Amino acid sequence: MPFPRLMIMHSSTAIYNLTVDARHLGACLAVEVRRDLLRPLPRFTKRVIDLVIVCLGLPVVALIIFLLGILVRLESPGPIFYGHRRIGRDHAIFRTWKIRTMQVNGDELLRKALAQDDALREEWLRHHKLRRDPRITRVGTF
């Protein structure tokens, strides 16, 4: 019994549904994959759309960061942001900034908590992580 429709699936993630077209190539059927962002006009258009979205979202994100900064400062003295080195593309090291979620004296608080609580110390030795970490601020818990 012939099938009225046939779908050929490909496992490659490089083939996207909006950029794939079926083409006749002589007596064969071919699948053409367009890579539109390699052309200047679509790449420029995408860049403009990205910048417009960022400019529209920046006030909202800035307000959220400002409010979180106030909450961090009210709860715990010290800097609002925490800088951390990361390894990026091509093994380049860069510094990323995050809103601080732990107390400034976190190492001291952890040491005291582990010295006082055997169960907490056992959890720390087993996982190097605590479900109720005394270093984390309320903003960090949120």
Task: Report yes or no: 72 and 137 within 8 Å, Cβ to Cβ.
Answer: yes
9-19 pLDDT, tens digit per residue, is 666 665 566 67
| Per-residue confidence (pLDDT) for residue 71, from 0 to 100 | 92
- What is the C-alpha to C-alpha distance for residues 135 and 48, in angstroms, rounded to an integer? 43
69-127 pLDDT, tens digit per residue, is 999 988 888 899 989 899 999 999 999 999 998 888 888 888 888 888 888 888 888 88
Q: How does strand 20-25 pair with strand 28-33?
A: antiparallel
Whether 1 shows a pLDDT value over 60: the answer reads no
Q: How does strand 28-33 pair with strand 93-99?
A: unpaired
Q: Which residues contact 31 (CB under 8 A, 6 or more apart)?
A: 10, 15, 20, 21, 22, 23
Whether 44 shows a pLDDT value over 70: the answer reads yes
Q: Which amino acid is at 81?
A: F
Indicate the domain borders of the chain: 37-100, 103-142
Q: Which amino acid is at 62?
A: A
Average pLDDT, the chain: 85
